[in-house]
Amino acid sequence: MPAWSRLTADLRRVARLAERSPRERALVVEAALHLVAAKAMLRWVPFERWRGALQHAPEQRLRVTPGERQLAQLVWAVNGVGARFPERLNCLPRALAMRWMMQRRRWPNTLELGVARDPEGKFEAHAWLEHDGRVIMGLVPNLERFVKLPEMAAAQLR
């Protein structure tokens, strides 16, 4: 895509965002910040320093259960920003960003990691986020073919 076309497309996106409610604009900014943080962490921080982000969050008192609309808005923001990111954002940065946004709101969630082999026998890995037993981020066709990895306890990884 030529630079001029890309610029006009970006300007149209900004104009559409300006038409959104202040709450939706804030969610887009929050999602963008979390996606940048997740991508940077995965790229530049050693695994030993961030592996705790993959573990289940400790139970907190006063957990809040989100409404369907609230949850859908977070998914919309993370997927919308993730799709327009200059660099490809795969399932793990999106799942982490969504997880952090949910944890900030004290909404229960479970980050799952799974592995599988594609029809040609190549190794595949996938990350998804669940809430109340259903996938809310990272739903792909034939998700059941991925074998969930057991929760990684910090002691097991040392």
In tens, the pLDDT along 94-111 reads: 999 999 999 999 999 999
In sequence order, the 6+-apart residues with CB closer than 8 A to the CB of 109 are 57, 98, 99, 102, 103, 129, 130, 131, 136
Is the pTM here over 0.85, yes or no? no
Distance CA 61, CA 63 (A): 6
3-state secondary structure of 131: strand
Q: Where are the domains of the chain?
A: 22-157
In tens, the pLDDT along 43-96 reads: 999 888 877 767 666 555 556 778 899 999 999 999 999 988 877 789 999 999
| pLDDT in the model for residue 16 | 72
Query: Out of 5-19, 36-50, 141-155, which region has the weakest mean confidence (pLDDT)?
Result: 5-19
Examine the pLDDT at 158 and tell me if it is beyond 50: no
| pLDDT in the model for residue 7 | 54
CA end-to-end span of the chain: 47
